[in-house]
Chain A
């Protein structure tokens, strides 16, 4: 008893070993020896289990600690449904991390989201890494992220393939980028005078096939240009050369010309969003592919403009001439065509006015013209040779004159005309800054005067009564057709035939009057011509038309504003704000 009492603390152990010793048939004194010598006699093997458990737990902790990826802080404008613990970070729909914290930034104006990312993505967290929140988006160019309506938003991450300097703080994008970093293709910048109807996300077309997108729309630093960052996907980017022309396509492009009216629609989507198209003029050299990002191009307003200015950019002052005109040059603008034999070979670079030196004289306008030798089939021509060539032409009778380019708008163009019958002249190389070509007076003023009288006549035309009379006539015809008498007409036709025969003889006699009728018809058609030609900026119809166009533009602008609102805040469609 006493032995057990003083060894109560490890009673069971001693008792157990004693029992074993006894059961093995050994003497009762032996257990004490076993006590000291054998570890197994004092300590149960069961202790290995908690030891193993502790080791396992320690291993799991160590593993999860070392496997733990980097913690990055991303600043967003709005949290947009991001919640602690639940929101995942994804790359190509694969989870690569999760949100650990969502807090307001120190300035209380933005949200800082703490994200624990997987360890394997750590090397890619460099300057080229972008984060953005994926929500459901519904706007004119896309409907995306609908799955997030049910599952909640997530954060998408995008990086390029190359590891770089680690960063742990990022600014999240407020809009998802349109193309992932790794996408092969070409990034270019286009500059235009006005944004037009081109938005972020607007498509880029090549031969009406969508090959890219507008990624960013911004003002240049000095706010004189609108810059579009566009992305052209591989392999279409191989079609971009240094001479490629980009032009805006704003839905419908209409053209009314001598060959009739044409309407061109680049794509149905572009009807709503606008877009950019590009094409390669056949003349450009296609040897040099454009393989590096960042080149800047001019964005032309329309296809026609792009085609016309194929040789723009060749502002080579060596190929400039100037011409002095007396009198009114109203309607001659910078950029106006310089035409030779009906072909555009250059443009007006500058128009300046020189005040008369003596009173009583007329002021003179100096027009600087930029020629494009390539248009004349002259490639790599030197300035000297160019001057010689032109001098020959002038000596052969080439003269500069102003001509009406468009009777509707009253714009003027510069025409070069060969008039061998005139007395010989030559280029005046003494004038500054450019040599002067000889001019001949044009009949522009006369034309203008004609047009003005035409307008006057036109305004006196009794248009209203004409229209109402025509309406009445139409009404009468309709009544006639609807009348029961008309239904009986077929029956009467046969009886009429006889009277027609009789009438025929009378027609013969009437034919004598025909020439007079023809005359009056001619007069009528002349009047109609006058009506058309009268569409000058001052005419009533023109004013009304332009007012209508202005209203259309206002309407289009408000639609654009609406689209922009939707783009910024897609839920406005639902909530109404």
Chain B
């Protein structure tokens, strides 16, 4: 029903702004601490597309070492082996663990890349006012926030393995540098997604 019906007008168009913390509606011209709860109130967050870009770039930069460096070191009496994300996937495939391999592949390769693309697309669409339905934007934005948490699955896998498998000389698993970079990448893509002010997504279409 939303697609067919034109939306009303935004708070900003009405000269109002809402506190994101307590929901109080106040005039745009009022001072920014919320009259009720004291939180800062903005009509649109300042520089939010720039911020999203900045975080996204950090996330992408961190994703490079995350894939090149080993995420996990396995130290056993037969010697040391280290696995990167993709080599870990291949190891799992070679041991016929197709399901786990798929999960790791999707969570660690597909989802981060998808997020980069989506966030970059949203930011571009805001910046250049692409002809994109606000509902599409909205869904994409929800999607990035929804799938963002799944990216951490790799970090948890390594954290759990490294914590559990400490059998001294027989078998020891240590986290590698790659997993730190991966965590940094995930954190910054999540920051990028959240720093995109969702209210902005609704602005352009109305105005266009």
List residues of A whose CB falls within 8 A of some B CB.
Answer: 1, 4-5, 8-13, 15-17, 19-20, 22-25, 43-44, 46-50, 53-54, 57, 86, 150-152
Contacts and interface: CB of A to CB of B under 8 A. Distances in A.
B188 to A, nearest CB: 8
B32 interface: yes
B57 interface: yes
B114 interface: no
B200 A12 contact: yes
Contact of A9 (B29, B127, B197): B127
Contacts of B146: none
B127 to A, nearest CB: 6
B62 A46 contact: no
Interface string B135-166: 00000000000000000000000000000000
Given A16-B46, A22-B28, 11 more contacts: A9-B127, A12-B47, A12-B126, A13-B47, A16-B42, A19-B17, A19-B28, A23-B30, A46-B47, A46-B55, A86-B79
B28 A151 contact: no
B37 to A, nearest CB: 15
A149 to B, nearest CB: 10
Nearest to A51: B54
B32 A43 contact: no
A12 B201 CA distance: 11
B128 A9 contact: yes
A86 B128 CA distance: 50
Interface centre among A4, A46, A47 (most CB of B within 10 A): A46
Contacts of B51: 44, 46
Contact of B54 (A5, A12, A46, A86): A46
A13 B77 contact: no
Given A49-B58, A50-B61, A4 B207 contact: yes
Contact of A22 (B29, B78, B129): B29
Contact of A13 (B29, B50, B128, B129): B50
Contacts, number: 103
A150 B79 contact: yes
A15 B46 CA distance: 7
A37 B43 CA distance: 23
A1 B204 CA distance: 10
A43 B79 contact: no
Given A150-B79, A151-B78, A8 B128 contact: yes
B43 A19 contact: yes
7 contacts: A8-B129, A12-B46, A12-B47, A12-B127, A22-B28, A22-B29, A152-B78
B43 A24 contact: no
B31 A24 contact: yes
Nearest to B44: A15
B158 to A, nearest CB: 21
B77 A150 contact: yes
Given A4-B207, A25-B29, A44-B51, A20 B58 contact: no
Contacts of B41: 23
A43 B47 contact: yes
Contacts of B106: none
Contact of A16 (B44, B54, B61): B44
A47 B54 contact: yes
Contact of B42 (A19, A25, A43, A57): A19
Contacts of A20: 32, 42, 46
Nearest to B50: A44
B183 interface: no
- Name which of A8, A16, A17, A152 has the most chain B CB atoms within 10 A of its CB: A16
B25 interface: no
B46 A13 contact: yes
A24 B32 contact: yes
Interface in B6-43: 17, 28-32, 41-43
A46 B50 contact: yes
A24 B32 CA distance: 7
Interface string B78-98: 110000000000000000000
A15 B13 CA distance: 12
A50 B43 contact: no
B118 interface: no
